[in-house]
């Protein structure tokens, strides 16, 4: 009996994982959530220096669809991370996670959106980058967005409370 063939998506995911392990990015750590499931990863992102998130490690998950890379993975942060691009359930809303044609009212450029030439590396760098500069057109938490724009000191205080349990490693 022949062994089942490995899918193109799992091959791509494994290749990207191997590349990220071989050439890791400072401040980003990845691991499979389950050794038997390449479609689910855990990650930790160090809060970038000079931001309200500095000194914390922000944990999250990537859940890949079976037809990856045609569709992007779902990205969620663990816990109640107070950020304009993070929904209360932890779902991250940034341009690279949107497929062209998803929502014509979005203001993301086609180059910013997901396509099969994008990668997990680019997603993780974009997630880390959103802590430096939120994506203004992809608001998932209007309260965080309003507070950032109207009372930065209160925003920083609220962020510190939301991420206090995630001390830097």
pLDDT digits (tens, 9 = 90+) for 90-106: 999 999 999 876 554 45
How many structural domains comprise the chain? Answer: 1
Identify whether 167 is part of a domain: no
Q: How far apart are CA 6 and CA 88, in angstroms?
A: 36
Identify whether 118 is part of a domain: yes
Say if residue 167's pLDDT is above 70. no
Say if residue 1's pLDDT is above 70. no
Which residues make Cβ contacts (< 8 Å) with residue 62, sequence separation at least 6?
40, 41, 42, 43, 73, 74, 75, 120, 123
Average pLDDT score over residue span 131-159: 96
Identify whether 95 is part of a domain: yes
Identify whether 113 is part of a domain: yes
Identify whether 71 is part of a domain: yes
Identify whether 3 is part of a domain: no
Q: How far apart are CA 107 and CA 95, in angstroms?
A: 9
pLDDT digits (tens, 9 = 90+) for 32-88: 888 789 999 999 999 999 999 999 999 999 999 999 999 999 999 998 899 999 999
Identify whether 147 is part of a domain: yes
Structural domain including 20 reads 8-162
Identify whether 2 is part of a domain: no
User: The CATH number of the domain where 15 resides is what?
Assistant: 3.10.110.10
């Amino acid at each position: 009996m022949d062994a089942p063939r490995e899918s193109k998506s799992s091959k791509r995911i494994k290749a990207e994982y191997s590349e990220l392990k071989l050439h890791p990015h400072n401040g980003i750590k990845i691991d499979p959530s389950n050794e038997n499931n390449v479609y689910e990863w855990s990650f930790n992102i160090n809060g970038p220096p000079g931001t309200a998130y500095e000194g914390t490690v922000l944990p999250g998950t990537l859940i890949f669809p079976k037809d990856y890379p045609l569709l992007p993975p779902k990205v969620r942060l663990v816990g109640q991370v107070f950020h304009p691009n993070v929904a209360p359930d932890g779902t991250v809303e940034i341009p690279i996670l949107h497929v062209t044609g998803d929502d014509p009212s979005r203001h993301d450029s086609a180059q910013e959106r997901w396509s099969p030439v994008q990668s997990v590396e680019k997603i993780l760098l974009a997630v880390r980058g959103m802590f430096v500069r939120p994506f203004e057109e992809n608001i998932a938490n209007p309260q965080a967005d309003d507070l950032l724009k109207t009372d930065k000191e209160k925003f920083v205080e609220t962020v510190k409370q939301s991420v206090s349990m995630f001390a830097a490693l």
